[in-house]
Structure 1
Amino acid sequence: MPALSYTNKASLYQNVGRESHVAGASPHQLIDILFDELMLKLDQVIRFYNAGELGRALESRAKALSILSGLQVSLDHDNGGELAAALMEIYSEAARRINQSPSEKLPEQIESAQVIIGEIASAWKAIG
């Protein structure tokens, strides 16, 4: 079995830390973790795109959309009423912005999604 590189070891360590953090989290904290991961993935999309690494940018974008989908699924429409409906609209708009075809405007599209998700994430942290 080949030895792991420093990067692979660091990645494994981060995954263990992340999994431990998730395992002990409350439902509120889990949503907070999803927001943090979503913002991280959106930052990566911009960074990779600007570095000319389109494949990695698209991979990060796919992960961001998956996280956003998880946030949408977590909404409690039975008990959340208008708030759940409003959040669904916001998440759908963010997904639309993130999912636009890559172009020279991709960083601006992602940044605009970050702004609206960031507002929700900040509000979520404030009530936590």
Structure 2
Amino acid sequence: MFSQGHGGANAYARVGVQTGVMGASPHRLVAMLYQGARQAIAQARMHLQQGNIPARGEAITKAINIIESGLQQSLNRDIGGDIAARLDALYTYMSHRLLEANVRQSEEVLVEIDGLLATLEEAWMAIAPDAAKMAAA
């Protein structure tokens, strides 16, 4: 994100993210995962347009890791039932499509997955008041 000459700025950005994560509710953490995955896809699109293959691959890998190790792993399959199962399948689909986007250099696929994540993020944010009430109870 920053050049090596901006080590201080890079460290400051990391501290900001770490502080945000440490003080975040579980609901906010999932929202941050959606935002992080979408940001990685935006970076992948930029690198694709610029022809920067290594950076594109790194950004797509980051998005896949957020989806698989963050969003997918946070699913509670015991309590979530059918919704959790469907989200699990959707996250698997997204990961496979992102791999395909990288191999085929497809901006169209990146846009598709960003759209899916945006829809999920919007729905997730819509339940924020209910999540806050449940956490307070």
Q: Same fold (TM over 0.5)?
A: yes
TM-score by length of 2: 0.85
Q: How many residues align?
A: 123
Deviation at 1:103, TM superposition (A): 2.5
Report which stretch shifted further, 88-97 or 30-39.
Answer: 88-97
**Alignment correspondent of 2:44:** 45
Deviations 1:31-67 (A, max 9, x none): 0111110000000011011111110010011111100
**Alignment correspondent of 1:97:** 97
CA distance in 2, matches of 1:53, 1:77: 39
**Alignment correspondent of 2:84:** 84
**Alignment correspondent of 1:12:** 11
Q: Give the counterpart letter for 1:72 in structure 2.
A: Q
Q: Which has the higher helix share?
A: 2
Deviations 1:84-114 (A, max 9, x none): 011111111111111114334x111111111
Deviation beyond 6 Å, 4+ runs, structure 1? none
Q: Secondary structure at the match of 2:103?
A: coil
TM-score by length of 1: 0.91
1:112 aligned onto 2:109? no
Deviation at 1:8, TM superposition (A): 2.2
**Contact 1:91/1:117 (<8 A) preserved:** no
**Contact 1:41/1:60 (<8 A) preserved:** yes
**Contact 1:90/1:116 (<8 A) preserved:** no
Deviation at 1:9, TM superposition (A): 1.9
Q: CA RMSD in A?
A: 1.2
Q: Secondary structure at the match of 1:75?
A: coil
Q: Secondary structure at the match of 1:66?
A: helix
**Alignment correspondent of 2:132:** none
The gaps in structure 2 that reach 5 residues or longer are 129-137
Q: Secondary structure at the match of 2:104?
A: coil
Deviation at 1:116, TM superposition (A): 1.0
Q: Give the counterpart letter for 1:62 in structure 2.
A: T
